[in-house]
Structure formats: structure tokens, C-alpha cells
Amino acid sequence: MKTIHPLEESESIVAVIQDHWVVMIMPFLLYLVGWLLAVTLFFLGDILALEIAFLDPIFKLLALLTVLAIHHWLFIYFFWWEMSSWIITTHRLIGFRFLPYVRHDTSFVMIQEINEIDKRKHGLIQNVFNYGTIQINLLAGHEMVLIEHVPNPSRMVNLVSALEEARQNGTSIDVEELRQRFSL
Amino acid sequence: MPHWFWIAFLIIHLLSWGWFFLIRRDEKAFLESQIWVLGKENVSWVKTKALRLYKLLYSFGLLFVTIFSFILFFFL
């Protein structure tokens, strides 16, 4: 059984891959819609108060609740986006997935265990914004690892392939040279 | 505004700030597990400037909503 262990002395971080910023568009649009809903509820309370007075404070509270809920919701997404990443080291890929109180995942893939690595960019949006999915097939069994919303997936595939090749040939890895070569 | 409104207002804000501190605690716990894997010398890879900015915006945004909503409803 393999367990996650701290970085070895000979292991260095080459790059950090975060989800593409496109994934934050939807939460941000919904945040704006939430604000619109809150403002509507606020003024709806005023209008309804002309007929039924006690509705005004209820609608004001609903507007406040909406603003607070969307504020928390947006920043939960920001934390998820910033703290969920794949870290490429000279020996392995380490994946962190975080969603407050929902998900605390840490996983890893050893570079020497990679059998096949492919990239997929489906659809207009993925091709325009240059992001996609990386599929890693492992040597052991039929295990498969999917990394989604990877910005510039070709670069990541080439980087991992270069690391894999260097490990197979037993050549030393110059991290700075790699970073320069892949503009990281 | 009636009394029950201010009681509900207070409860909502207390719950909101409580949730904020719970999120911060969970974020710290996850950050510690990341640092354990990557080592203290690589802390800058996960404890980024952007993360600090989000935390700052989160707390200031919440503070703004609390103060602004109080002033707005108090003088309404």
C-alpha cells in the first residue's frame, strides 16, 4: 500500500497547476444575480408594506440573508479554487482538493508509474480559453486519474513527459531549466 | 423596525460570523496538511498572496455588510 509522505530531500517542486479561471465565471455571475435578488427583495418589502405592513421587515431580513449567503458562497468558491491544485514535483504529481467542511483530499501519482498521459479539449470554450482535461493511465491495473480544467494542458503533458523521460534515462533534472523551457 | 426584527438581525449576523470563523479554521487545518506534505520551506507554493487577498476581502466584505445593514435598517 502506498501512502502520502512528505517531500523527499532529492524532490523539488517544478510547477503548480490550478484550475483555469474560467471555472470562477459561473460563481461570480451567480453572485451578481444574488445581489440583484437581494435588492429586489429589499424594495419589494417597501411596495408590499403599503398593503400588509408586517411583510416589510420579513422581506428586509430575506434580502440580508441573501446578501450574506452569496457572500459566503462566493468566498467558499474562491478558497476551493485557490487551495485546490496539482503540484508537479520531480518525482510525482500531488493533488489537493479542498472545499470547506466538504472535501479534504490529498492524492498523488508517482511519475515512474505513469503508463500513458493524454489531453482532451472538448468544445469551443475549452479551445478558445485553452484548457482541458488530462487523463493519466497508470501501469498498475486499469487505474486512471483525471485532472480537469487544466490551463494549457499540452504544456503540462509535455512537462510530465519530460520528467518521465529523465527518470527513465536516469539523467538529473534541472528544475530551473525545465521551468524556463516550459515558461512556468 | 419591530423588536423581533432586531433579534433576528442579531442572530443572522452571529451565525454569519460564526460560519466565517469555522471556514477560517477549516482552511487553516487543510493548509497545515498541505505544508506537512510539501515541507515548511515550500510553504509559499500553497500559502499564496492571492489566498491572503481572498481572506482579507472575505472579512472586509462581511464587516461591510454588517455595518452597512445596521446603519441602513436603523435609519429606515
Question: What string of pLDDT tens digits covers the 184 residues of chain A?
Answer: 567 778 888 888 999 999 999 999 999 999 999 999 999 999 998 898 888 888 889 999 999 999 999 999 999 999 999 999 999 999 999 999 999 999 999 999 999 889 899 999 999 999 999 999 999 998 876 788 999 999 999 999 999 999 998 888 888 888 888 888 888 7
Q: Which residue type does A69 have?
A: A
Q: Least CB-CB distance to B37: which of A64, A78, A106?
A: A106
Say if residues A14 and A164 touch (Cβ distance below 8 Å). no
ipTM: 0.91
Mean pLDDT of chain B: 92
Instruction: Say if the Cβ atoms of B23 and A100 lie within 8 Å.
Output: yes
Radius of gyration of chain B (CA): 18
Write out chain A residues lying below 8 Å of B33, CB-based.
104, 106
Burial class of B39 by CB neighbour count within 10 A (0 to 12, 13 to 18, 19+): middle
pLDDT for A153 equals 94
Tally of CA atoms within 13 A in the half-sphere of A140 that contains its CB = 8
Q: How far is B37 from chain A (nearest CA, A)?
A: 4
Distances in whole angstroms, Cα of residue B30 to Cα of each of A9, A10, A61, B40: 23, 25, 34, 14
Say if residues A173 and A90 touch (Cβ distance below 8 Å). yes
C-alpha cell at A60: 428586509
